[in-house]
Chain A
Amino acid sequence: MSSIKENYLKQILNEIHFPFDRPLIRKELVEHLDESIEYYTGSTVSLEEAESLAIHDFGEPKEIGKLLNKVHKPFLGWIWILSKYGLVVIMILTVIASTPRFFEALEQAQESAPPTEATEIILQALSYGTSEVVVDKIVDQRFELKDGDLVFERMIILKEGVLILMVQQVDHFDPFGIKKTIYPLQRQACLQLGGVDYHFEAEQTSNYKGFIVLIAKDIPTVSNEYSIVFNGYSENFKLEVVVDLP
Chain B
Amino acid sequence: MYMDKNYIGGSSYLLVLSLINRKDMYGYEIIKELELLSDDAFKFKEGTLYPILHKFENSGWIESYSKFSDSGKERKYYHITKTGIQQLVQEQEQWDLFKDSVMKVLNGNRYVLD
Contacts and interface: CB of A to CB of B under 8 A. Distances in A.
Judged by DSSP, the binding face of A is helix
Given A64-B45, A67-B48, A232-B60, A31 B28 contact: yes
Interface stretch (B68-76, B94-102, B106-114): B68-76
B50 A28 contact: yes
Contacts of A232: 59-61, 83
A6 interface: no
Judged by DSSP, the binding face of B is helix
Interface in A12-66: 12, 25, 27-29, 31-32, 34-36, 57-61, 63-64
Given A59-B46, A232-B59, A235-B83, A68 B28 contact: no
Contact of A31 (B45, B55, B60, B74): B74
A70 interface: yes
B51 A64 contact: yes
Contacts of A59: 45-48
Contacts of A57: 45-46
Interface string B22-44: 00001110000000000000000
Interface residues of A, number: 29
Contact of B54 (A12, A27, A36, A68): A68
Interface residues of B, number: 21
A233 B83 CA distance: 9
A71 B73 contact: no
B111 to A, nearest CB: 30
B58 interface: yes
Interface in A94-113: none
A68 B45 contact: no
Given A31-B76, A32-B28, A72 B54 contact: yes
Given A232-B60, A232-B83, A234-B60, A32 B46 contact: yes
A74 interface: no
Nearest to B82: A234
Top 6 A-B residue pairs of the complex, sorted by shortest distance between their CB atoms: A59-B45, A67-B51, A64-B47, A59-B47, A58-B47, A71-B54
